[in-house]
Amino acid sequence: MSSNNDGDLIMGAAIGAVMGIVWFFKGFHELKIKRTIQNIPTSKINTGAVGTDVEIKGNIIAEKERLVTAPISGQQCAIYHMEIQVERRRKNSTYWVTIDRYYSHEGFYVDDQSGATALVLAEGARVNRKGKTNNTYFSSSDLDELPDLLRKSLTKNQHKLKKFKFKKTSWLFSEKYRVLEWYFLPDEEVYVLGHAVSGLRFEKIKKPRLKHFLQAKKEIQGDKKLTARYDANADGTLDHNELERGAQILAQRFSDQYSKEKLEALIPKTKLIFKKKKPHPFVISNRPEQELVSHMGTWSVVKIWGGPILTVACVFYLYTLFS
């Protein structure tokens, strides 16, 4: 029994030493984002400079009759974000590992009353949200016990999931999952920092569905992650059928989120499009800017100082144990 406990302690110390290093570098990354937020002034959407890092603040545009229901809380919202974690075990302890994330929609529009709107494509963004995080637990052997809303959400968005398979297993091979939920409400004020591009400028939209379909094609062709997502045969390139299918899926999501009439009004006014582009920061938050800066500053300090302390403590323990 003692040797088993010693083995667990050694493994825990080794993992702690590595995690301390990871926290240290993550702390510096968050500190860099915090300074970027402080150094970039908040712009109006109609004056934001395309091709640069832009910071905006505005309200989420949503249509009451097209709100979605968050699958855990049951909250009517403009968009929700889900994170799927799986339980991993050591001999005498467990921990959670994130394996998948997905949004109810590709993104949302923001209005800051400047006469222009922005489209925020949320995938890959760092979501820093205040408020309660809703979560639920289930096992792969008990999928029948899943709440109906969550089941429908996982089924509908299965094509977005890379590692989680919505498939029932026997109790012998069962895995335990935790699902976390965040959401943004209609008209909620959000802060967005990211690399702004253009591409949705049309003087007149006679067929918004077709125009949105063409824009979806452009987004897929210009984004490696989207290209990989719709590459059905995984040969590294999109053939005509794969591109057409991907564009239909992407365009349909926005059609479901906004009515034809709303898109006709939004698209001509859309000057900025925010999406993930390395190495540029991409942050979406419902916190006021000063609160966001304070929150990120606190956690960056904790990680920068706490990481090395954890690593040193674990390495010292391992050293004394083996010496």
Query: Which range, 43-57, 191-205, 217-231, has the best average confidence (pLDDT)?
Result: 43-57
**Is 49 exposed, middle or buried (CB count within 10 Å of its CB: 0-12, 13-18, 19+)?**
exposed
pLDDT of residue 109: 95
Q: Which of 175, 81, 187 is nearest to 134 (CA)?
A: 81
In a shared domain, residues 312 and 202: no
Find the DSSP H helices in the chain.
2-39, 148-156, 208-221, 224-229, 240-257, 260-266, 289-322
Range of the domain at 321: 1-39+294-323
Residues 173 and 246 occupy one common structural domain? yes
| pLDDT, averaged across the chain | 83
Same domain, 191 and 46: yes
70 & 96 share domain: yes
Query: What's the token pair of residue 75?
Result: 């909250």
**Could you tell me if 273 and 308 lie in one domain?**
no
- Dist CA 17 CA 74 (whole Å): 40
Same domain for 258 and 233? yes
Q: In the structure, what pLDDT confidence band is assigned to residue 5 with cuts at 50, 70 and 90? A: low
Does one domain contain both 178 and 216? yes
Q: Which two tokens stand for residue 126?
A: 């760092």
Q: Are 87 and 97 in the same domain?
A: yes
Same domain, 283 and 301: no
Do both 50 and 176 map to the same domain? yes
Q: How many domains does the chain have?
A: 2
User: Measured between alpha carbons, how far is residue 40 from residues 72, 274, 280, 281 in Å?
Assistant: 36, 16, 13, 12
pLDDT in tens, 240-293: 887 877 776 666 666 678 887 888 888 888 899 999 988 899 999 999 888 887
| Residue 156 shares a structural domain with residue 262 | yes
Average pLDDT for 111-127: 92
pLDDT at site 135 = 92
Q: Is 50 exceeded by the pLDDT of residue 211?
A: yes
Residues 6+ apart with CB under 8 A from 27: 299, 300, 301, 302, 303, 304, 305, 307
Chain segment 38-57, per-residue pLDDT in tens:
888 999 999 998 899 999 99
Residues 9 and 76 in one domain: no
| pLDDT at residue 205 tops 50 | no
Angle of helix 240-257 versus helix 208-221 axis, rounded to 10: 120
